[in-house]
A and B are shown apart, each in its own frame.
Chain A
Amino acid sequence: QVQLQESGPGLVKPSGTLSLTCAVSGGSISSSNWWSWIRQPPGKGLEWIGEIYHSGSTNYNPSLKSRVTISVDKSKNQFSLKLSSVTAADTAVYYCARRVAVASNFDYWGQGTLVTVSS
């Protein structure tokens, strides 16, 4: 059973950089899956941020692309998100999720972590 666990600071200052890590257990990050970040502002819907393959290939949401970097660390079986120049609008629960390469749905999700942007 694959498990994903997000970690990182729960509070980030405006104009700073949000940094989160997703640890993958119960399976290899080098398998045929894409690894995504998805966020959900309080009381709102889901927004896909971007994804990465173990090779390092990435796809990003165009609305966030200029501020987002997703990277993978195969030695630690984890992947990470960096979102720069954050504002209050970036306050959200951030989820990491898995997508099997031949599918277009997200079958495993982390529990999510709330990141608040505030001074």
Chain B
Amino acid sequence: SYVLTQPPSVSVAPGQTARITCGGNNIGSKSVHWYQQKPGQAPVLVVYDDSDRPSGIPERFSGSNSGNTATLTISRVEAGDEADYYCQVWDSSSDHPYVFGTGTKVTVL
């Protein structure tokens, strides 16, 4: 099945920019979604279809996708952004179509 690889952790100072990568074979040909999960809570969709934001998600969250890497960018990072982040794709060629990345813990210093 399709594999999505994320760095285990990213650290960033408040006010700076955090970039979280999601690697997969030719991921640029797929739609990538990103979820934020705070401790003890359910995941929340923060970016869908590579770069769109659901209603209520700050513009500080943005996404891009090309080649073998998708990226979630969090600008002007706040303490409240500290969470785990997961990428997810739909692999149409697989009978296991909904694949999640390994997850990245974002720590705000």
Binding site for B on A (CB under 8 A): 36, 45-48, 51, 59, 61-63, 95, 103-107, 109-112
Q: Determine whether the beta carbon of B42 is less than 8 Å from that of A110.
A: yes
Q: Which of B31, B43, B54 has the most CB of A within 10 A?
A: B43
> With A and B bound together, what is the CA distance between A63 and B97 in angstroms?
12
Q: How far is the CB of B20 from chain A (nearest CB, A)?
A: 14
Number of residue pairs A-B, CB distance < 8 angstroms:
56
> With A and B bound together, what is the CA distance between A105 and B35 in angstroms?
10
**Complex: chain A residue closest to B98, CB-CB:** A48
Binding site for A on B (CB under 8 A): 1, 31, 33, 35, 41-45, 48-49, 54, 86, 88-90, 95-103
Contacts of B101 in A (CB 8 A): 45
**Looking at the complex, which one of B45, B49, B86, B98 makes contact with A36 (CB distance below 8 Å)?**
B98
Contacts of A104 in B (CB 8 A): 31, 33, 89-90, 97-98
> With A and B bound together, what is the CA distance between A51 and B97 in angstroms?
11
Dominant SS among interface residues on chain A: loop
Q: Determine whether the beta carbon of A109 is less than 8 Å from that of B42.
A: yes
* Given A46-B100, A103-B49, A111-B42, 6 further pairs, Cβ under 8 A: A36-B98, A48-B96, A95-B42, A95-B43, A106-B33, A109-B42
Q: How far is the CB of B81 from chain A (nearest CB, A)?
A: 19
Q: Determine whether the beta carbon of B54 is less than 8 Å from that of A59.
A: no
> With A and B bound together, what is the CA distance between A111 and B43 in angstroms?
9
> With A and B bound together, what is the CA distance between A46 and B6 in angstroms?
13
